[in-house]
Amino acid sequence: METIDASSRGQQQVMELLMPATMAAGLSLATWLVLPRLLRRCHSYVESGPKARILGRAQQQDDGVKEKPPTPPVSYEMSLFGALEDPARLLATTITFSYLGGLVAPRSLGLQYLSQFRAGTTVVSLVWFLYGWKRNVFSRIMSSGRSLSQSERERYLTMDRILSAGMLLLGAMALAESCGVAVQSVLTVGGIGGVATAFAAKDLLGNMLSGVSLQFLRPFSVGDFIRAGAISGQVVDIGLHSTQMINSDKYPIIVPNSFFSSEVIVNMSRIQWRGLALNLPIKLKDFNKMLSINVAVREMLHSHPKIYLENENPRCNVSQVGPASFELAITCDLKPMSTDEFLLTEDEILMEISNIVARSGAALGTSM
């Protein structure tokens, strides 16, 4: 009788161990075999469902008018679901084997670390998923059909680096906390040393923060000609700590990025038009021709191909009148051009004004 009872108890224990173990193994197997197919189906539904219609991927016609060309679909490997597949497998497998370990050796000394192991794996899986999703998003942006300028590419790369560093830092802190490390105490003790270090390296940190600000705000780009304070030149490289420039004498200049946070930056390469102001003294005996000279100069400015007329019309008026001369004040806007083109255009305008004055029997003189 006792033998039968012992045998039944053994069978019961085996069943109590076998059933949960079978369910856990089945869950792990389903994660490896079924989950990828499920995620791919979800991805296919998203790409062909309402989102696709919003983005114009579904070929629809309204009153016989064809819509814009469809947006290229996102591949599974570059999607949210593709980033979720491997972390989900890791998490499910870890939970399964830790559960099986608890069933096989419920009184083992290592059983007390299983909860920490599961929590740590959960953190790693979450950070892995977020990092993969972020990588896929930025990869799609950088490889999209829309052409990106150099400044936009640098901005996206900077955002990618900052997000990666933030994820790794927060993930390391969460992993340490899940493993039993008192992160708050470590931060409190380390904060004292951190304050001293930050105070000693305030210039370095200030330059780095200013460099990040320059990457996002983009007050100037590589190749722009700028002036900030007493420094002027062409931007060659924008780094995290300093910016390299070349001045008009072709000398290289290395400027700390914190310098730009306290100075007014004038970017001559981003102007929409250039202003031209001239004060021309004209010697004239017959003042009755003064008005005709004014009108002729104004008509010439309106018809000049390099005058920018979209902002305001050119102005030409008499500012001073002397016994045998008067001064003509001219202001106008020129189209965007380089410094050499600006100087040539100024010479062209002066030459045409000189011809108008000469045809009227007058001459350009010295300042009044």
Range from 19-33, 264-278, 326-340 carrying the lowest mean pLDDT: 19-33
Q: What integer best gives the mean pLDDT of the chain?
A: 76
Higher-pLDDT residue of 236 and 103 is 236
The DSSP call for residue 245 is E
Q: Report how far residue 314's alpha carbon sits from residue 300's, in angstroms, rounded to the nearest whole number.
A: 10
* Per-residue pLDDT at 246: 92
Question: How much is the pLDDT for 245?
Answer: 92
Which pLDDT score is estimated for 86?
86
pLDDT of 170 > 60? The answer is: yes
Q: Of 51-65, 95-109, 232-246, 339-353, give the lowest mean pLDDT range.
A: 51-65
Residue range 196-211: average pLDDT? 69
pTM score, whole prediction: 0.51
Long-range contacts of 30-35 (CB under 8 A, 24+ apart): 31/88, 31/89, 31/92, 31/93, 32/89, 32/93, 35/85, 35/88, 35/89, 35/92
**Nearest alpha carbon to residue 130 among 169, 187, 74, 184:** 169
First to last CA, the chain: 133
pLDDT tens per residue across span 69-106? 555 677 888 888 888 888 888 888 887 777 766 666 66
Contact 183, 212 (CB under 8 A): no
Give the confidence band of 58 by pLDDT, cuts at 50, 70, 90: very low
Mean pLDDT on 193-215: 69
Which residue in 129, 119, 56 sits closest to 88, CA to CA? 129
Contact 130, 86 (CB under 8 A): no
Q: How far is CA 320 from CA 279, 290, 300, 312, 363, in A?
A: 10, 12, 22, 23, 16
Q: Is the pLDDT of residue 327 over 80?
A: yes
Could you tell me the pLDDT band of residue 312, with boundaries at 50, 70 and 90? confident
Six token digits for residue 250: 């072709």
Return the bridge partners of 326, or none. Answer: 282, 321
Look at residues 228, 211, 219 and name the one whose alpha carbon lies nearest to residue 151: 219
- Joined together, the tokens standing for residue 7 give 């045998």
Mean pLDDT of 284-304: 84
- What DSSP designation does 224 have? -
User: Nearest Cα to 157, choosing from 169, 171, 170, 141?
Assistant: 141
Winning range, highest mean pLDDT, from 102-106, 144-148, 167-171: 167-171
**42 pLDDT exceeds 60?**
yes
What is the per-residue pLDDT across 249-288, written as a single tens digit (0 to 9) for each? 888 999 998 888 888 898 888 777 888 888 888 887 777 7
Q: How confident is the model at residue 365, as a pLDDT?
A: 66
- Of the CA atoms within 13 Å of residue 52, those in its CB half-sphere come to 15
Q: Is residue 164 predicted with pLDDT exceeding 60?
A: yes
Residue 27 near residue 96 (C-beta atoms within 8 A): yes
pLDDT at 205 over 60: yes
